[in-house]
Chains A and B, each alone.
Chain A
Amino acid sequence: MSGVVDQARNAETFLADTVHEERLDKLLWAMRLRRDAAARQVPEWEELRTLASEIKEHTLSNLSQYLIQFEARATANGMIVHWARDAHEHNQIVYDILAEQGANSLVKSKSMLTEECELRPFLERRGVRVTETDLGERIQQLDDQPPGHIVGPAIHKTTQDVATLFSQKYGSDPRNLDAAYLAGVMRENTRPDILNAPAGMTGANFVVAETGAIVVATNEGNADLSAHTPPLHICSVGIEKIIPTTESLAVFIRLLTRSATGDKITQYTSMFRGPRKGAVMHVILVDNGRSSRLGMKRFWHSLKCIRCAACMNTCPVYRRSGGLSYGSTYMGPIGIIMMPTFEIRKYSELPFASTLNGSCTNVCPVKIDIHEQIYGWREVMEENGQIQVVKKEAMRVADEVLSHPTLYRIATTALSTALEVLPHFAVYNRLNSWAKHRDVPEAATETFHEWYRNNRLHTNEEVRRG
C-alpha cells in the first residue's frame, strides 16, 4: 500500500539496533516514573487534571468568542494578528513578513506547529536560512531528520550519535561524550546566529484571551532568545492553544512540566504581551484542520492536548519503536489520534500501533480519552475500508470469536497452549515489531472459564438448587 505509513515496518529500522531501543525504553520509562513522583507530591493533582479538562472543554466550546477576544487584546497590545487557514497560507504569511523586512535568516525555537506546516523547507527553498535554537531540534536539523519526540526531539539519539554529528558539522571532538561539553558546542556555534539574526520565531504553549498574551515554556531560554534578540518576532499559534484567563493559566503551568519531565516548572516560563521596545511582533493564528476536528463528535477532545508527551513516555509501543517510526509530525498515542484528521489514508495504520492498555489516558493531564479514541479510529478505518487486508482479517476473526462464546473459550485455551509451544519467532513477528524483546505476560495455566468451571460452577449450581 503505497503512501500509507507502516509504523510496524518503520520500527524495524529502530529495532535492528538494540542499543538505541533499550536505551530509549529505559529513558522514557524513567521520565514516566519522574512524572508519577511529581504528581504524587501534589495532593490536588487529580482535581487539577479535572479543572484543566473542564477549562479546555469550556474554551473549545466557545472558541470563536475567545479567538475574537484574543485578537482584540493582542492588537491593542501592539501585536499584528494574522489568520491562516492552512499550512501553505501560514508559511506564505511568514515568508511575506520576512521578505517585507528584507530578512534572509531566521532563528526559531521549537514549534510543533511549524513542523506540521513544514515551514523550514518552505523558507529554505526561498533562500531563508533557518537556525533552530532548541538543542534537540537543532540536532535533528543538522541530521536532516524530523523530531522524534515532541518534548525531546533527539531523545532517541545516544550521546555518541550527537558527538559524531557535531564533529562532522562543527568540528568538535567526536570522542568527548560529556553532554555538557556537547551542549556547549551547540551554544558557541548557535550564538552568533542568534545575536545577528534579523528575525526570530517561536510557537506558543498557551495563548491567553483575556490579556492577549503568548506563553512559552522552555528550559533552555531559547524561545526568549529567539523572540527578543532580533527586532522582529513572529509567533505561530494553533487556534486550540487559547485559554480564557491568566487565572486558568496557573492550572496548566502546574500540570505541564510535571507531566512532561517530572520537574515542577521549566527554567523559563515566559509571557509575551506585546513587542519589545523597538521591535515588531506578529502572531499567526493557524487552523489547518483544527476547526474541522472540532466538529468530530468522537474526536474533538484531542484538541485539549497541551503537548506534554506524557502519553508517549508511558506507551509501550512508542518506547519500543521510536518516534520516527510513526512517519508523522505528532507521534505516540496523541499522534495516533491526531494524524488521521490531517490525512486519513496516509495515517490509516497508526491506530493499530497501540496495545489499548489505557496508560496514556491515565497520565494525560487534560484527561483526553486517548485509548478510547484510538479504538474509535480503528472503527473509522474499518468503516472507511482503510485497513490493510491482514489487520482487517484479524479484526474479522476477533469479531467472530467475540460474538460466539464457545469459540472464544476454545481460542483462549489455544492461546495459552500456543505460548508454551510456539517458537519465539512465531509470537514476535514482523507485524508486531514493537513487541520484540518485550515479554508477553505469562499465560495463566487455566482461563477464567476453566477456573470458574472447576471451582465455582458446581458451588453456584448447588446454591441455586438449594
Chain B
Amino acid sequence: MNSTQALSRNTILDSVRANQPATQPMPTIPHFHTNQPADLVTTFCESIARMAGVVVTDLLNEDVPDLDSFLRAKFPDAKVFCSAIPEYAGTIKPASLNHWSEASTIDICILRSPMGVAETGSILLSDIELQVNTIAFLAHDLVVLLDPKQIVENIHDAYEHPYFKLRPYSVLMTGPSGSGDISGITVHPAQGVKTLTVILFPAQHAGQRSG
C-alpha cells in the first residue's frame, strides 16, 4: 500500500471511529423452520416455475436415464453440448475451452448442482461444478441435475452450505436471465442464459452409471 492509500485508509477509519454510534448488539438469527412446507420438492418446483425455470421429473424413476436422447430431443438445433458431469460425454468438456469468453459458443451445458432451495427455487453452482465460471451466463442453455434429497427448505439453510465460505465463486441461480427494464414487462433472456432446465435425478444413480 502506497502512502496515499495508507493516508486514505487511516482517514476513513479514523472518521468512522469518531462517528460510529454506541455499539448495538448483534441479534440471534433463527432459521424459521416452523413454516416448513410438507413437500420440499413440490415447493421447489413451484418456486422455480415462477422464475421461468423448467423442472423435469420424468427421469426420476429411471435407473440409467438416457441423457443424450433427452437433450437432443429437447434441444434439436443444438450442436455444442458441453458436459461438466462424468456420466455424460457431450461434444466438449469445460476444459476444452481456450478462453473464458469461449463459453459463449456452447449451446447446451449440463452440470450437477449440489443443492436446491425450496423457498426460492434456486440451484447452487460454484467454480467447482462450472470449472469455467462464464458457463453460468455465457452458455445459451443450462441443464442442471439435482438430487431431490439435496433440496433445503429456505435461504437460511442455503447459506449454511460450505461453498459460501470456501469457494471463490458461487451463485444461487433461479431461472434463466431476465429483465423487467422495458416498461416493467419481464422478458427472457436478458444477458445471461436463455433457458434453465433442472432435471431431478438422485445422485447415487449417477454414481452407478459412471461406476
Q: Which A residues contact B (CB, under 8 angstroms)? A: 23, 27, 30-31, 43-44, 47, 50-51, 54-55, 57-58, 60-64, 67-68, 77-78, 82-85, 89, 133-136, 139, 152-155, 157-159, 162, 179-180, 182-183, 187, 190-191, 194-196, 210-211, 213, 219-222, 224-225, 228-229, 231, 239, 244, 246-251, 253-254, 261, 263-278, 285, 287, 291-292, 294-295, 297, 300
- Which of chain B's residues have a CB closer than 8 A to the CB of A61? 20-24
**Cβ–Cβ contact B174 & A266, under 8 A:** yes
**Cβ–Cβ contact B191 & A225, under 8 A:** yes
- Name the contact of B134 in the complex, choosing from A133, A135, A228, A267 (C-beta under 8 A): A228
Q: In the complex, what distance in Å separates the CA atom of A443 from the CA atom of B10?
A: 58
Please give the distance in Å from A64's CB to the nearest CB on chain B.
5
Q: Is B210 an interface residue (CB 8 A)?
A: no
A-B contact pairs, 27 of them (CB 8 A): A23-B183, A30-B184, A68-B13, A83-B12, A155-B181, A162-B182, A183-B179, A183-B182, A183-B187, A196-B101, A219-B179, A221-B190, A244-B26, A246-B159, A249-B159, A254-B154, A264-B174, A265-B174, A267-B192, A268-B173, A270-B169, A273-B168, A276-B168, A276-B169, A287-B12, A287-B15, A291-B12
- Name the contact of B193 in the complex, choosing from A67, A221, A249 (C-beta under 8 A): A221
Interface size class of B (residues with CB under 8 A): 35 or more
Q: In the complex, what distance in Å separates the CA atom of A51 from the CA atom of B175?
A: 28
Known contacts: A136-B181, A265-B174. The answer to whether A295 contacts B169 by CB under 8 A is no
Please give the distance in Å from B192's CB to the nearest CB on chain A.
2
- Which of chain A's residues have a CB closer than 8 A to the CB of B25? 54, 58
**Cβ–Cβ contact B29 & A248, under 8 A:** yes
Which residues of B (123-161) have their CB < 8 Å from a CB of A?
127, 133-134, 136-138, 154-156, 158-160
Among all A-B residue pairs, the 4 with the closest Cβ atoms: A221-B192, A295-B19, A136-B181, A220-B190
Select the residue from A54, A179, A254 with max chain B CB neighbours within 10 A.
A179
Q: Is B185 an interface residue (CB 8 A)?
A: yes
- Name the contact of A265 in the complex, choosing from B23, B120, B187 (C-beta under 8 A): B120
Q: In the complex, what distance in Å separates the CA atom of A276 from the CA atom of B127?
A: 8
Please give the distance in Å from A215's CB to the nearest CB on chain B.
9
**Cβ–Cβ contact B29 & A285, under 8 A:** no
Known contacts: A191-B104, A269-B122. The answer to whether A83 contacts B5 by CB under 8 A is yes
**Cβ–Cβ contact B190 & A250, under 8 A:** no
Q: Which B residues contact A (CB, under 8 angstroms)? A: 5, 8-9, 11-13, 15-27, 29-30, 32, 34-35, 47, 50-51, 100-101, 104, 119-122, 127, 133-134, 136-138, 154-156, 158-160, 164-165, 167-185, 187-193
Q: In the complex, what distance in Å separates the CA atom of A159 from the CA atom of B184?
A: 9
**Cβ–Cβ contact A272 & B169, under 8 A:** yes
Please give the distance in Å from B22's CB to the nearest CB on chain A.
6
Q: In the complex, what distance in Å separates the CA atom of A248 from the CA atom of B155?
A: 11
- Name the contact of B168 in the complex, choosing from A44, A196, A250, A275 (C-beta under 8 A): A275
**Cβ–Cβ contact B174 & A51, under 8 A:** no
Q: In the complex, what distance in Å separates the CA atom of A157 from the CA atom of B183?
A: 7
Q: In the complex, what distance in Å separates the CA atom of A246 from the CA atom of B134?
A: 24
- Name the contact of B182 in the complex, choosing from A83, A154, A249 (C-beta under 8 A): A154
- Name the contact of A246 in the complex, choosing from B11, B101, B164, B175 (C-beta under 8 A): B164
- Which of chain A's residues have a CB closer than 8 A to the CB of B183? 23, 27, 155, 157-159, 162, 179
- Which of chain B's residues have a CB closer than 8 A to the CB of A89? 8
Select the residue from A196, A264, A292 with max chain B CB neighbours within 10 A.
A264
**Cβ–Cβ contact B169 & A228, under 8 A:** yes
**Cβ–Cβ contact B192 & A254, under 8 A:** no
Given A68-B13, A183-B187, A231-B100, 10 more A-B residue pairs with CB atoms under 8 Å apart are A58-B24, A58-B25, A58-B26, A67-B13, A157-B182, A211-B164, A225-B134, A228-B134, A246-B164, A254-B156
Q: Find the A residue at minimum CB distance from B126.
A: A271
Please give the distance in Å from B169's CB to the nearest CB on chain A.
6
- Which of chain B's residues have a CB closer than 8 A to the CB of A264? 47, 50, 119-121, 174
**Cβ–Cβ contact B158 & A268, under 8 A:** no
- Which of chain B's residues have a CB closer than 8 A to the CB of A133? 191
- Name the contact of B155 in the complex, choosing from A43, A50, A187, A253 (C-beta under 8 A): A253
- Which of chain B's residues have a CB closer than 8 A to the CB of A261? 180
Please give the distance in Å from A53's CB to the nearest CB on chain B.
9
- Which of chain B's residues have a CB closer than 8 A to the CB of A297? 21
